[in-house]
Structures are given as C-alpha cells and as structure tokens.
Amino acid sequence: MARTILITGGSTGIGQALARHFAEGGDAVIITGRRPGPLKETAAAVGARGLVCDHTRPEALTALLSELPDRIDVLVNNAGGNTDFDADGADDLASYARDFRANLDANLVSAALTTKALEDRLAPGGAVVHIGSIASDQGAGSYGASKAGLATWNLDLAGRLGPRDITANVVAPGYIADTEFFRDHLSSERRDQLIAGTATGRPGTPSDIVGPVGFLASPAARHITGQVLHVNGGALMTR
Ligand code: NDP
C-alpha cells in the first residue's frame, strides 16, 4: 500500500529532494511551504500535492488539517532555517528578543505544532523525522538553540508515540549546499572553512539527506526511535 508522506517546507532544498525521492518510490507525497510559486512548481515537477501553510501559525495548521487525509504514515518536519539571515541587524534588547523568538518559532515551535496537529492521524508503523542541525552541537546562537531544543523535545515525543508503533527521530545535517538556507550570507571563505572541517572534503548535498530520512521512515528502522542521526561528512564525530 502506498504510504502518505507529508514533508513540510518541501518546495526547495532538502525538502524538495525528499519529496522527489518518496514520490519516485510510489508514495503519495504532500509538500507545504509559505510561497505559493515555488510550492506549485515543485509539486508539479516531482508529482506531489502542494499545500500552502506557515507552520509557525496554529490557525494555518488548523486550516491545513482540513485539506489532509485522515491517515499520515510519515511526517518530515523539514521547514525551518536560520531566521537571523533575514534579521534587520538592530541590536536593542527588543530586537534581540524578537529575533531569538523567530528562530525558536521557525525551527522548534513549528515542528512541535505540526506534530501536535497531526498526532491523531499518524498511523501505526509510521515515523516522524525532524530535520535538525549540526548547529545544535556547535552553537550558532538562537538557531543552534532551536535545533537543540528540537532534539530534546523529540525525546518526549518518541516516548509518547512508541506505544503506538510510531518512531520519532532527528536527522541532523552539517553544511548542505544547493539549498536556499544561506541566502547570500555564505562567503567563499566560510564555505571553504565548512568543507575543510569535514573528513570527506566536500559539502553535503540534499541527496545526502534523502537516504538517512528514507531509512528512518522505512520498515528497516522500526526499533530506532528517540535518536539523532548526524549526516555531516565527519564535521562532527560521535562515538
Ligand atoms: P531551504 O531554505 O532551501 O528550505 C527550507 C524550506 O522551508 C523552504 O522551502 C521554505 O519555503 C520552507 N519554510 C521555511 N519556514 C517555513 C514555515 N514557517 N512554514 C512552511 N514552510 C517553511 O533550506 P534547506 O533545504 O537547507 O533547509 C531544510 C532544513 O534543513 C531546515 O530545517 C534547515 O534548518 C535544515 N538544515 C540545513 C542545513 C544546510 O546547510 N542547508 C544544515 C543543517 C540543517 P517558504 O519560504 O516558501 O516557506
């Protein structure tokens, strides 16, 4: 039976690669995003259904629910990014609070709200996969804190969903090129530095994330839950 897979933020980058992968595998794929243009384009290109939604907004999620099927097999909480790249540079305390909260909203609250909204529809044998980040172990201010919070919050989620035979894990990428993540904020020096930090000597690509997410969503990974799977070419090593 074809699975129904919801990928948040599926118009570009990692989410788009995931949408293409699951659709090619015969799954029914739904992608979301805030900008209708890229969403429509990607949905048509990969054979997915595109639904506009801002995952930081509860009312948008309530509206999304009315468009979604009753059963979701796999939820990929991919929407997010470092909102500091869009900040206006103001340094007063009120701006700091606003910008800090923006990252928490974009990466942590969005995933928690989406999962909460869909929790009753998640099917036994299913999976929730969040896209975390190497930043949760390496800093990066409120962005890193938001992704660290996501991994910690996932522990509780995994415990809650486990009895229903639903897994919940985080895939934490290192530097991934060919996405809209960095806007125009990545200097060639910083890029070289990020690549030099890997053992593989190359940037990651969205396709590097596809296999790990596909695995965690597959029948082969039913006893893996509450984990963080690092995908960074060795830029962060664990034991
Ligand atoms: P992209 O910017 O290309 O993808 C992010 C997607 O999420 C966009 O399509 C964006 O579309 C969507 N999105 C963002 N916020 C929301 C929201 N509130 N509601 C709905 N959709 C949203 O970058 P990546 O593919 O690189 O990022 C995917 C994930 O990977 C992110 O969570 C990011 O933090 C993480 N990551 C990326 C790394 C990298 O080096 N690229 C490294 C580590 C983690 P729209 O603006 O239209 O809503």
pLDDT (tens, 9 = 90+) of the chain, 239 residues, equals: 789 999 999 999 999 999 999 999 999 999 999 999 999 999 999 999 999 999 999 999 999 999 999 999 999 999 999 999 999 989 899 999 999 999 999 999 999 999 999 999 999 999 999 999 999 999 999 999 999 999 999 999 999 999 999 999 999 999 999 999 999 899 999 999 999 999 999 999 999 999 999 999 999 999 999 999 999 999 999 99
- 3-state SS, residue 218: coil
Q: How many Cα atoms are found within 13 Å in the side-chain-facing hemisphere of 208?
A: 19
**Both tokens of residue 67?**
């468009």
Question: CA-to-CA distance for 132 and 229, rounded, in angstroms?
Answer: 9
Q: How far is CA 129 from CA 144, 154, 215, in A?
A: 18, 9, 10
Contacts of 157 (CB under 8 A, 6+ apart): 115, 128, 168
Q: Contact, 233 vs 200, CB < 8 A?
A: yes
Ligand 1 touching residue 110 (CB < 6 A): yes
Q: Contact, 225 vs 168, CB < 8 A?
A: yes
Counting from 1 in the atom list of ligand 1, the atom nearest the Cα of 38 is 47
Counting from 1 in the atom list of ligand 1, the atom nearest the Cα of 54 is 19
Verify whether residue 96 is a known catalytic residue: no
**Both tokens of residue 58?**
């509860």
Ligand 1 touching residue 100 (CB < 6 A): no
pTM score, whole prediction: 0.98
Given the residues 22, 100, 143, 153, select the one marked as catalytic. 143
For residue 61, which of 118, 19, 120 has the smallest C-alpha distance?
Answer: 118
Give CATH superfamily name and number for 4-231: NAD(P)-binding Rossmann-like Domain (3.40.50.720)
